Amino acid sequence: MNGSHLPLIKLTDPSKEHTYIIDEGGSSPIMSEVREKARLAKQVTNRLAALTTEQKNNALLKMADALVAGQAAIIAANQEDLQLGRENGLTSSLLDRLALNETRIADMAEGLRQVADLPDPVGDTLETFTRPNGLQVKKLRVPIGLIGMIYEARPNVTVDAAGLALKTGNAVLLRGGSSALHSNLAIVRVLHDALADTDLPPQALQIIENPDRASVDELLKLNGLVDVVIPRGGQSLIQTVVKNASVPVIETGAGICHTYIDRDADVDMALDIAFNAKVQRPSVCNAMETLLIHQHFAEQHLGMIVNKFQEAGVELRGCEASRKLTDGILAATDEDYATEYNDYILNLKVVADLAEAIDHIGKYGTMHSECIVTNDAANAARFLQVVDAAAVYHNASTRFTDGFEFGFGAEIGISTQKLHARGPMGLPALTSTKYVIYGQGQIRA
Amino acid sequence: MNGSHLPLIKLTDPSKEHTYIIDEGGSSPIMSEVREKARLAKQVTNRLAALTTEQKNNALLKMADALVAGQAAIIAANQEDLQLGRENGLTSSLLDRLALNETRIADMAEGLRQVADLPDPVGDTLETFTRPNGLQVKKLRVPIGLIGMIYEARPNVTVDAAGLALKTGNAVLLRGGSSALHSNLAIVRVLHDALADTDLPPQALQIIENPDRASVDELLKLNGLVDVVIPRGGQSLIQTVVKNASVPVIETGAGICHTYIDRDADVDMALDIAFNAKVQRPSVCNAMETLLIHQHFAEQHLGMIVNKFQEAGVELRGCEASRKLTDGILAATDEDYATEYNDYILNLKVVADLAEAIDHIGKYGTMHSECIVTNDAANAARFLQVVDAAAVYHNASTRFTDGFEFGFGAEIGISTQKLHARGPMGLPALTSTKYVIYGQGQIRA
């Protein structure tokens, strides 16, 4: 290996709850891979914070070029993962997510170039004020420090997360799904080589090799080293992180999104928005799972709605009132209303009024994206104010909750929690702040 | 009890790990006190979010008046706590923190009036932009929802936390130290009575009566009900919360703060700032614990520094180099440098240069408040950029890290983490955001 690489980690006893390495220097104490890599990454956070935008962009462009130049090695490693995946019985959709080819690698490289093109939020002055005693206070945007990313078997997330974190002057500790391990390691090797020729220290980018669950548990407890963990993936991954982390977490993802068609809605608009919210891409978090319909609207138009969805192959599950109005609707259970299908299945519910719709959303929603279709301005205003979600829509599809659609140029994820960032997260969500105070000898009385 | 009170909770089996109540309605399922009160508070978060600033301020002023009018009952309850405290051998400083009298109650009431006077951040438009497809996007400040507060035996925090949370349209679930339980319950009874005559539902203010540790553990796991927990108190309380919570936490408090006197510092200014940072109020988190001194400055001035601190009764612990220069310094250990004394004890360390000072702060600091005293502009700039802390000072005392000193008019705490809020937290730190999107039928292509 060349000098820019980090020392190869030796898992001396992978069967232990915490695995250990012997530092190749031979003198330092035994330390787990996760802690050692977090420590290495943390060591350079001060240097990263001092990099200019130009230095960071140059590094990203070198990383992009290196991915393309190094694609043979990456594809070869990916073949190993695919082979193991087939042996382990991965589904074809999982194998598809895992697979890399020249086009996908070119896309990953292009993603890095786009991130390089985005404005750098680090160093922005957010506030400045002078106190009566003459102290001048500035609030500046600074990198967060060391970001832990935990994700599933999608090698593109490795590149994506590295690019977003490094652009914002953060170090990053990656822990991808074990079935993409060879691909991820090959990608990180290529990126490390690229960084060796830049001002951005390769140490800033770390990937955990130990596929054991214990390495995730350890990462989640590294208070003082890891400043935040961001999980990316399905609900089970995200909930594992939320429940077990003692380091701060940004919760992303789960979306049980509703569209409510009010009594006084434009019929064509309502059908277009509802159809788009469900069918345009059912597998994503901002797709609709439940359609709420005012009883008067339902009485007149439910048959047409049901036809439209059934023609698109959507299975419908509804409340008793909906099933009385129209054939072809299965009975929906409480559990159905609480399920994120991410599939061609839609819950229907006929409601008496706006208040019932709002209550239903309060009970079953995940505070992601919620929509009202109506021409009644008062009802729209009430819905937008009272519904507690990251994004609330009047007369538009919930599918727009997305960093690119919002014009952020990048998206780290969609926060469904209320601290730090809420909704689509662009680059500023990967920064913190710092107060810088300039005095002339002031002391407190 | 009158109608504005919440049903009295009956602890049917306080010896169990989780205690249970029977709902006085008799029909709903058995539920723990903590979960039931969280649920009650959560039920009104939508109503709170819709209150006007005037409605909230009116409620705060009524609460202030009620505290003064109800002081006899509060003081009587406080006497019970003090009696139990003496029987349980509480130290005199703990008893002093716990004690209430007319002056202290008047101060708490005045605090509520001051919070009523502050601008209301809720409803502020933070961003607004229109997308090429015509979608208009607004980013608004909204309440967080339900805030859990965990604190020690200081009854004033009960009033303070209630005022700050309600002013920002949040519901609040309080869990104070058990030795202040009678005082806190009396205060909350008075506040509930006051709220009964306002538009702010008393249900928004909840206090946990179960003094068992299990009630804290349960509160920390109420994901979906509690939107954030804020601990206020000593390090052990804060670390318990950080380590055990699965709900989001805002970590506050710990301050191992440094002052670094550079080679090229004004002598009088350096001494004044260092002295102020240690001695003006040693018990608080923004007080200095370690004084770093450039070796050339130390060679000339350490004797004078040591005299000044010793005359003020400060015990000095220092590195070998400092002890060679001057008598009267005890030997400092690694543990000393890692200790937040909050007392008349100061660590000294002579450093070779700025870089060594920065390294020491990186190793032992808690990212709270750090200061450089120097006339060297380049060194000041380097320190302010590289030192990773909530507040970094050039030529001013670290004691200024404070919501009131920063002009925020209130302080919920001082965040030492990097997400959501960093440094002194004013009212905006108790808010989240929400994207409101106005469309005319837009769907995603």
Total domains in chain B come to: 2
Which residues is B302 bridged to in the sheet? none
Contact B145 A389 (CB under 8 A): no
DSSP B151-207: E-S-HHHHHHHHHHHHHTT-EEEEE--GGGHHHHHHHHHHHHHHHHTSSS-GGGEEE
Nearest to A444 among B242, B280, B444 (CB): B280
Whether the CB-CB separation of A155 and A94 falls below 8 Å is answered with no
Whether the CB-CB separation of B257 and B369 falls below 8 Å is answered with yes
CB atoms within 10 A of CB A139: 19
Task: Looking at the structure, tell me whether residues A159 and A279 fall in a common domain.
Answer: no
Task: Looking at the structure, tell me whether residues A232 and A352 fall in a common domain.
Answer: no
Task: Looking at the structure, tell me whether residues B117 and B85 fall in a common domain.
Answer: yes
pTM of the model: 0.88
| A124 SS3 class | coil
Spell B227-247 as b/e; 16+ CB within 10 A means b: bbbbbbbeeebbbbbbeebbb
What are the structure tokens assigned to A431, written together?
């920064």
Q: How far is CA B277 from the centre of its chain?
A: 20
Chain A hits for B397, Cβ within 8 Å: 439, 442-444
B422 within a domain of the structure (yes/no): no
Contact B144 A242 (CB under 8 A): no
Contact B391 A440 (CB under 8 A): no
H-type helices in A231-353, by residue range? 235-244, 267-279, 295-311, 320-325, 334-337
Task: Looking at the structure, tell me whether residues A219 and A270 fall in a common domain.
Answer: no
Task: Looking at the structure, tell me whether residues A309 and A214 fall in a common domain.
Answer: no
Measure the CA angle with vertex B55, ends B49 and B61; round to 5°.
125
Cα–Cα dist B73/B76, whole Å:
5
A418 within a domain of the structure (yes/no): no
Cβ contacts of A274 within 8 Å, gap of 6 or more = A259, A261, A288, A291, A305, A373
- Give the domain range for residue A144: 33-244
B356 within a domain of the structure (yes/no): yes
Task: Looking at the structure, tell me whether residues A209 and A266 fall in a common domain.
Answer: no
H-type helices in A353-419, by residue range? 354-364, 377-386
Q: Locate the chain A residue with the closest alpha carbon to B425.
A: A435
A265 within a domain of the structure (yes/no): yes
What are the structure tokens assigned to A67, written together?
């991915």
CA quadruple A338, A340, A344, A348: dihedral sign: positive
In this structure, are strands B431-442 and B136-143 parallel, antiparallel, or unpaired? antiparallel
Contact A46 B386 (CB under 8 A): yes
Per residue of chain A (445 residues), give pLDDT as tens.
333 333 333 333 333 333 333 333 333 446 799 999 999 999 999 999 999 999 999 999 999 999 999 999 999 999 999 999 999 999 998 999 999 999 999 999 999 999 999 999 999 999 999 999 999 999 999 999 999 999 998 899 999 999 999 999 999 999 999 999 999 999 999 999 999 989 999 999 999 999 888 999 999 999 989 999 999 888 889 999 999 999 999 988 789 999 999 999 999 999 999 999 999 999 889 999 999 999 999 999 999 999 999 999 999 999 999 999 999 999 999 999 999 999 999 999 999 999 999 999 999 999 999 999 999 999 999 999 999 999 999 999 999 999 999 999 888 889 998 999 999 999 999 999 999 999 999 999 9
H-type helices in A175-294, by residue range? 181-195, 213-219, 235-244, 267-279
End residue of a domain, out of B382, B400, B418: B400
Cα–Cα dist B372/B364, whole Å:
16
Spell B319-344 as b/e; 16+ CB within 10 A means b: bebbbebbeebeebeeebbebbbbee
Whole-Å CA distances, B63 to A115, A443, B197: 51, 36, 10
Which 126-155 residues of chain A touch chain B by CB within 8 A? 129, 131, 135, 137, 142, 144-145
A411 within a domain of the structure (yes/no): no
Task: Looking at the structure, tell me whether residues A238 and A99 fall in a common domain.
Answer: yes
| B100 SS3 class | coil
Nearest to A444 among B358, B400, B407 (CB): B400
Task: Looking at the structure, tell me whether residues B132 and B179 fall in a common domain.
Answer: yes
Q: What is the DSSP letter of B409?
A: S
B78 within a domain of the structure (yes/no): yes
Task: Looking at the structure, tell me whether residues B322 and B361 fall in a common domain.
Answer: yes
Task: Looking at the structure, tell me whether residues B228 and B201 fall in a common domain.
Answer: yes
Task: Looking at the structure, tell me whether residues B89 and B213 fall in a common domain.
Answer: yes
Helix (H) or strand (E) holding A163: helix A155-167
ipTM: 0.89
| A18 SS3 class | coil
A434 within a domain of the structure (yes/no): no
Measure the CA angle with vertex A95, ends A91 and A98; round to 5°.
145
B432 within a domain of the structure (yes/no): no
What are the structure tokens assigned to A393, written together?
């829509």
